[in-house]
Amino acid sequence: MTRTCFTALVAALLISFASVHAGATSRIKDLANIEGVRQNQLIGYGLVVGLNGTGDTLNNIPFTKQSLQAMLERLGVNVRGQTLRTGNVAAVMVTANLPAFSTQGTRIDITVSSLGDAKSLQGGMLLVTPLLGADGNVYAVGQGSVAIGGFQAEGEAAKIVRGVPTVGRIANGALIEREIEFNLNRQSQLRMALRNPDFTTAKRIAAAINDYIGVPTAESLDPGTVGITVPQQYKGNVIALLTEIEQLQVEPDLSAKIVIDERSGIIVMGRDVRVSMVAVAQGNLTVTISENAQISQPGAFAPQGAQTARVARTRIGVQEDGKKLALVKDGVSLQQLVDGLNALGIGPRDLIAILQAIKAAGAIQADIEVM
């Protein structure tokens, strides 16, 4: 083999190894959030009008009636003491998320949810609704036509409902009126919050940042936090520092965990789940009961007064579908564990019980989380 061919082969192997290794890494941007760069939740109470008789029943929903009266009085219409029978108004709660660094005059989406007994918000118009933050201040004002993803149709004897017609959305339905002050560019200390706290992952993130900057800048404070001291060359330009840091590749470390949803029978296992040597057997007991009634007719020489009678005939069968004892060897991988349990021919429900039994026996090195 010539030197040129040998060099090309080594380069190909290095490229293939790098590609395999890079497949297990993630960007810091996808592993952690920057403290202070976050959304804020907003909420408000308002009225939706213009409904085609599918709104709240004013006699049953007092807050809708009071809100309608208060709104009309602000517009110079006095309806106190009057009987209101309109079915075209519905009281709603309006919710939204205020993005980080949102500026005045920009728009955000809002969600409108019925609060009373309205049947549908289709075709409704949300009137001006202040949206409040956790501090009680108004940060946005919402208004617009409600778009819903469901419908309801009914007659005298039947009705059909698709989706949820009492919840709608207004795209760009709120106008931001107040900004949240946060000068990220002037910060001297930063904190990164890991989305999945882990000691090893936090240490790897800090090491990757320090290797890139060239000086000890980052430090893992706890499993969920990495502290960063802004280097001198990035003073007053934190955005440039974060832009470079968030693209660094880090291989996250995950704890061995099995997540079980007993309601739906879903099982999710992590790749590091290991099992000590254990034998597993599973069997199903099936009991079958069949009723075959027979009719008994009086014979030719039966005593006078004998009548036809119904005689019950019950047959009971018991069958036990015993599976063979399966041996799961010591330290097997996730694939081998799944193959071994599948060899028993069991379904997800039985598999959940088996995993919990193996955990109770102390033979599984993983946490089981039941949702």
The CA-CA-CA angle for residues 21, 22, 23, to 5°, reads 90
The band of 231, judged by pLDDT with boundaries at 50, 70 and 90, is very high
The band of 334, judged by pLDDT with boundaries at 50, 70 and 90, is low
The band of 335, judged by pLDDT with boundaries at 50, 70 and 90, is low
Structural domain contains residue 360: yes
Kind and range of the H or E element at 204?
helix 199-213
What is the pLDDT at residue 95?
97
- Are 46 and 172 in the same domain? yes
Position with higher pLDDT, 80 vs 132: 132
What global pTM score does this model have? 0.67
- Are 352 and 284 in the same domain? yes
Rounded Cα gap, residues 252 and 24, in angstroms: 8
The band of 19, judged by pLDDT with boundaries at 50, 70 and 90, is very low
What is the pLDDT at residue 186?
86
What is the pLDDT at residue 171?
94
- Are 188 and 145 in the same domain? no
What is the pLDDT at residue 16?
41
Q: Which domain holds residue 147?
A: 40-176
Structural domain contains residue 33: no
The band of 38, judged by pLDDT with boundaries at 50, 70 and 90, is confident
Looking at the chain, how many residues does it have?
371
For residues 66-91, average pLDDT? 86
Structural domain contains residue 302: no
For residues 80-106, average pLDDT? 89
Kind and range of the H or E element at 261?
strand 257-261
Most confident of 74-78, 141-145, 256-260: 141-145
Cα 72 versus chain centre, distance: 41
